[in-house]
């Protein structure tokens, strides 16, 4: 479990420190642009180093050029946590750092790990935390960061993988559900039950065959030279269809947005290769207040049954916040200058009074985020 994360010069975070309570279900709230998604990104990068090299994790739009705070020549993200319980508990700390080298005009990465009195640093783009001692790679590597998009979830899809998965943006839902239905039918049953709780109009989840266009790259030899080109091919994939109270076998692109988003989330959570750390952006999107509450109670049940699962999500919804305790809520805010400050809702000076008088959502709604900035200095 991740207990603690520190961000230094990561986008708008000049020095943010989030200490998660032991609930394994934590929310990030705050105005638009406060830095919530950035916390999820920084954490996800750290976890990816558990099975990938720097050059794979920090390529293209994930390059430090974009997420190092403008004008700064270094950044770091440090996470700490534990794995195992009781006598088997092992505490760990891992970090990644980027330093800009003016002489060669390049960012230089370094990953480090610590466990008890042992530790090590690994410098360079081909380094990874994969070779750190157990349990560090295991604790880190099964993380998922999702920003599900209903149109992607609804799309017919084909997968050639033995174990298909829902991707970051929601693509690949249909083959993943097909896999779940065939290989893990108990989870598929449970998924249907839980979806019905969130969206009562759902009666049954099904799949049907659909034609899908896939792009494949091909190599051909011309005059002794290899030339690569993209070829699009029609293959048979799957499409999600739902039996609803309004009719049967309704294709996914015709069902409501909230229904398909909830289905996507449950598919990730009930996948047999469930993540240890699930990072979710804007968790309530498309869901009615009642459905939002139902979603959080489903999350709580799944967490209860899976002792290594932790969920960290961003939200703008007081209904979701209402289902959690103040210690589970991290409030983020920034001033005109843009630097993020963050405090846990249970650090609010009036928390004891509020606990007896208001629900968590009412308290957040009444107090907003300005109190987070009291006594804080930017930069
Ligand atoms: N390289 C950078 N240096 C400094 N600040 C940056 C950099 N890149 C992005 N930012 C800032 O970081 C913040 C990113 O916000 P983020 O996406 O984490 O917000 P959010 O809380 O998720 O907002 P929303 O609720 O709108 O999704 C913005 O304030 C943006 O201006
Ligand atoms: Mg965001």
Token duo for residue 213: 């266009």
- Cβ-defined contacts of 368-373 (< 8 Å, 24+): 369/29, 369/30, 369/31, 369/34, 369/331, 369/332, 369/333, 370/333, 371/343, 372/30, 372/331, 372/332, 372/333, 372/341, 372/342, 372/343, 373/333, 373/334, 373/335, 373/341
For residue 207, what are the domain limits? 150-272
The answer to whether residues 138 and 2 belong to one domain is yes
Nearest-5° Cα angle at 184, 298 to 152: 65
- For a mutational test of ligand 1's pocket, the pick from 34, 45, 379, i.e. the residue with the most ligand atoms closer than 8 A to its C-beta, is 34
pLDDT at site 224:
81
The answer to whether residues 3 and 131 belong to one domain is yes
The answer to whether residues 96 and 238 belong to one domain is no
332 CA: nearest ligand 1 atom: 21
Token duo for residue 116: 């008890």
The answer to whether residues 38 and 115 belong to one domain is yes
pLDDT at site 316:
97
Alpha carbon distance 296, 332 (integer Å): 21
The answer to whether residues 250 and 284 belong to one domain is no
**CATH number, position 29:** 3.40.50.300
The answer to whether residues 286 and 367 belong to one domain is yes
The answer to whether residues 134 and 154 belong to one domain is no
272, 291, 323 — which closes off a domain? 272
- Provide the pairing of β-strand 90-101 with 74-83: antiparallel
Q: Domain count of the chain?
A: 2
Nearest Cα neighbor of 348 from 317, 374, 322, 316 is 374
Q: Is the C-beta atom of 338 inside 6 A of ligand 1?
A: yes
pLDDT at site 355:
94
The answer to whether residues 88 and 209 belong to one domain is no
Residue nearest to atom 12 of ligand 1 (CA): 12
Alpha carbon distance 122, 93 (integer Å): 14
pLDDT at site 142:
86
The rounded radius of gyration (Å) of the Cα atoms in the chain is 22
The answer to whether residues 262 and 291 belong to one domain is no
242, 272, 302 — which closes off a domain? 272
Please give the full DSSP string across 3-58, using - where no structure is assigned. Answer: EEEEEESBTTBSSEEEE--TTSEEEEE-STTSSHHHHHHHHHHHHHTTTS-HHHHT
Phi and psi of 239, rounded to 5°?
-135, 140
Residue 151 Cα to ligand 1 midpoint, Å, equals 25
210, 241, 272 — which closes off a domain? 272
The answer to whether residues 133 and 202 belong to one domain is no
Q: Which ligand is nearest to the CA of 12?
A: 1
Q: Is the C-beta atom of 268 inside 6 A of ligand 1?
A: no
Q: Is the C-beta atom of 279 inside 6 A of ligand 1?
A: no
Beta bridge partners of 241: 206, 251
The answer to whether residues 36 and 115 belong to one domain is yes
Residues 6+ apart with CB under 8 A from 34: 12, 332, 333, 334, 340, 369
The answer to whether residues 288 and 166 belong to one domain is no
SS3 160: coil
Alpha carbon distance 154, 146 (integer Å): 16
Alpha carbon distance 197, 358 (integer Å): 27
Query: Are the C-beta atoms of 285 and 13 separated by less than 8 Å?
Result: no
Residue nearest to atom 8 of ligand 1 (CA): 11
The series of mean pLDDT values per 10 residues for the chain, 379 residues long, is 97 97 97 98 96 95 95 97 94 98 97 96 97 94 90 94 93 97 97 96 97 86 82 93 96 93 95 92 92 94 93 97 98 94 98 96 97 89
Please give the full DSSP string across 79-128, using - where no structure is assigned. Answer: EEEEES-GGG-EEEEEEEEEEEETTTTEEEEEEEEEETTEEEEEESTT--
């Amino acid at each position: 479990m991740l207990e603690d994360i520190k961000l230094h010069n990561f986008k708008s975070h000049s020095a943010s420190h989030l200490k998660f309570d032991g609930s394994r279900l934590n929310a990030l709230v705050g105005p638009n642009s406060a830095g919530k998604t950035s916390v999820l990104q920084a954490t996800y990068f750290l976890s990816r180093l558990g099975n990938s090299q720097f050059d794979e994790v920090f390529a293209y739009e994930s390059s430090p050029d974009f997420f190092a705070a403008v004008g700064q020549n270094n950044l770091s993200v440090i996470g700490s946590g534990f794995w195992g319980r009781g006598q088997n508990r092992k505490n760990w700390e891992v970090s990644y750092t980027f330093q800009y080298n003016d002489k060669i005009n390049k960012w230089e990465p370094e990953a480090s790990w610590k466990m008890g009195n042992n530790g090590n640093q690994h410098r360079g783009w081909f380094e990874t935390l994969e070779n750190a001692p157990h349990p560090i790679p295991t604790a880190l590597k099964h993380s998922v960061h999702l920003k599900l998009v209903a149109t992607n979830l609804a799309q017919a899809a084909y997968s050639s993988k033995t174990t298909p998965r829902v991707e970051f943006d929601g693509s690949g839902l249909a083959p993943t559900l097909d896999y779940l239905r065939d290989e893990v039918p108990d989870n598929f049953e449970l998924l249907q039950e839980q979806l019905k709780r969130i969206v009562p109009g759902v009666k049954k989840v099904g799949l049907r065959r659909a034609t899908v266009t896939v792009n494949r790259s091909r190599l051909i030899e011309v005059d002794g030279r290899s030339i690569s080109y993209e070829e699009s091919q029609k293959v048979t994939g799957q499409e999600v269809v739902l039996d609803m109270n309004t009719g049967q076998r309704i294709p996914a692109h015709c069902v409501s947005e909230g229904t398909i988003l909830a289905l996507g989330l449950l598919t990730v959570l009930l996948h047999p290769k469930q993540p240890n750390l699930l990072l979710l952006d804007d968790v309530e999107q498309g869901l009615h207040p009642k459905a939002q509450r139902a979603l959080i109670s489903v999350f709580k049940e799944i967490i209860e049954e899976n002792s290594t699962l932790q969920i960290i999500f961003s939200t703008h919804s007081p209904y979701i916040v209402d289902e959690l305790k103040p210690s589970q809520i991290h409030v983020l805010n920034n001033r005109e200058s843009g630097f993020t400050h963050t405090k846990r809702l249970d650090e609010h000076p009036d928390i004891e009074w509020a606990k007896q008088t208001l629900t968590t959502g009412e308290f957040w709604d009444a107090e907003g985020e300005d109190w987070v900035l009291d006594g804080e200095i930017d930069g």
